[in-house]
Amino acid sequence: MKADLLKRLFKAIRSEPPSKVNVLLASIVEEERRKGHVELARQLAQILERSSQPSPEDLAPSGFDTSERSFKELPRSRRSNAPLVTVVPPQLIRHQMVLREDIERRFARIEREYAARGRLSKFGLKPRKKILLFGRPGCGKTLGAERLAFNTGLPLLKVRFDSMISSYFGESATNLRSVFDAAMEKPCLLLLDECDFVARSRNEKNDVGEVPRVVNTLLQLLDDYDAPGLLVATTNIEESLDRAIFRRFDDVFEIPKPDSPQIQELLRLSFSALVVSKNIKWKELSERLNGLSAAVVVTVAQSAAKLSILDGRDTISLAEIERAIAELEETRGLQG
């Protein structure tokens, strides 16, 4: 085999989609046939043909169609006909996160288990499918769900609690059940963002009978959940959730506020399209922003970048960052 063909093949394996790799493999088969290695060429062609047809357990979510046409049968409120879920287009799904190493490992573990679900099933094991993320507002819980959808290739369906919750007897529980039924039909990541609406404690004195009914329905649905995709719930106030909820999830963990190294990385990522002044002392700046959520840190950085661009510069200096921090202190009091 020619050296340049080998180089192209190795580069393609690392960076190109499977279709381009197959083209190179086919050219290798043809070259061996030209050399008179007929039997070898035949065997290679057979291997290539078999490998181009993936096994069921290794398929990404079964070729799930994310077009608008495929979502016309998604659940709707029986009374108002309002959609009970929102389909988040793939191009709008965010996936870049800056996390503590231990939290990054937990996300990666969920993704690896989902990718290996076929192999795990051969040993009678199931991947983590039901995930509960909690933490302060702006720390990245929703972003974490989006990251899981992006890295697993699952369409993202976000539950619309404004349509789901009804004042009519039993209707909220019926709506919730129809959403779970939809998740059973096609692989997706079902996101219950701010799930306090349907998961809060049944012991609260001010709750009417409908709330315990919805929570009981959710508990039952979580017990029975065996959909082909993932379910991710998030909450800012985990202490208000019904205690029985927690043991229904396969994994429960907190998304913490960023520490100093993560704040520095968030700032650098936010400034990546601009030139950064050498007079910025990253450690001192990150310590000043310590205690803020990731969302607030990014807001400060983006505000500074916009100030620089509006002033006609493509360089970020400490002056723009100071102005952005001052603006935030005035409007939000530096509350994370």
Topology alike, domains 65-254 and 260-332: no
Compute the C-alpha angle 137/143/144, nearest 5°.
100
Compute the average pLDDT of residues 263-276.
90
Compute the average pLDDT of residues 136-152.
94
User: What φ, ψ does residue 298 adopt, rounded to 5°?
Assistant: -65, -40
Q: Can you give the pLDDT at residue 18?
A: 58
Q: Can you give the pLDDT at residue 53?
A: 45
Burial string for 26-49 (b: 16+ CB within 10 Å, else e) reads eebbeebeeeeeeeebeebbeeee
When the candidates are 3.30.70.920, 3.90.1170.40, 1.10.8.60, 3.40.50.620, the CATH number that belongs to 260-332 is 1.10.8.60
Structure token digits, residue 249: 């999830």
Q: Can you give the pLDDT at residue 2?
A: 55
d(CA 128, CA 143): 18
Q: Can you give the pLDDT at residue 62?
A: 41
Compute the average pLDDT of residues 93-109.
92
pLDDT at 132 over 50: yes
**Residue ranges per structural domain of the chain:** 3-56, 65-254, 260-332
Q: Can you give the pLDDT at residue 8?
A: 59
The neighbouring-strand residues paired with 87 are 157
pLDDT at 23 over 70: no
Q: Can you give the pLDDT at residue 11?
A: 55
What is the identity of the amino acid at 95?
Answer: H
The pLDDT tens digits of the residues spanning 40-97 come to 767 776 676 655 444 433 434 444 454 444 555 788 888 888 899 999 988 889 888 9
- Positive or negative, the CA dihedral 160, 165, 187, 244 is positive
Compute the average pLDDT of residues 293-300.
92
Compute the average pLDDT of residues 292-298.
92
Residue predicted with more confidence, 44 or 175: 175
Q: How far is C-alpha 325 from the geometric centre of its chain's CA atoms?
A: 29
- 146, 111 in Cβ contact below 8 A? no
User: What φ, ψ does residue 52 adopt, rounded to 5°?
Assistant: -80, -5
d(CA 32, CA 5): 12
Compute the average pLDDT of residues 6-34.
61
pLDDT at 326 over 70: yes
Say if pTM beats, i.e. exceeds, 0.75.
no
Compute the average pLDDT of residues 223-248.
92
Average pLDDT in the chain? 82
pLDDT at 101 over 80: yes
Q: Can you give the pLDDT at residue 56?
A: 37
d(CA 24, CA 9): 6
Residue predicted with more confidence, 306 or 46: 306
Q: Can you give the pLDDT at residue 192?
A: 96
Measured CA to CA in angstroms, residue 242 lies from 176, 248, 316 at distances of 17, 11, 47
Residue 336: pLDDT band (50, 70, 90) is very low
Q: Can you give the pLDDT at residue 211?
A: 75
pLDDT at 4 over 50: yes
Residue predicted with more confidence, 263 or 171: 263
Q: Which fold has domain 65-254?
A: Rossmann fold (3.40.50)
Compute the average pLDDT of residues 223-228.
94
The pLDDT tens digits of the residues spanning 177-204 come to 999 999 998 899 999 999 987 887 766 6
Measured CA to CA in angstroms, residue 68 lies from 73, 76, 155, 162 at distances of 10, 15, 12, 22
Three-class SS of 50-98: HHCCCCHHHCCHHHCCCCHHHHCCCCECCCCCCECEEEECHHHCCCCCC
d(CA 298, CA 265): 10
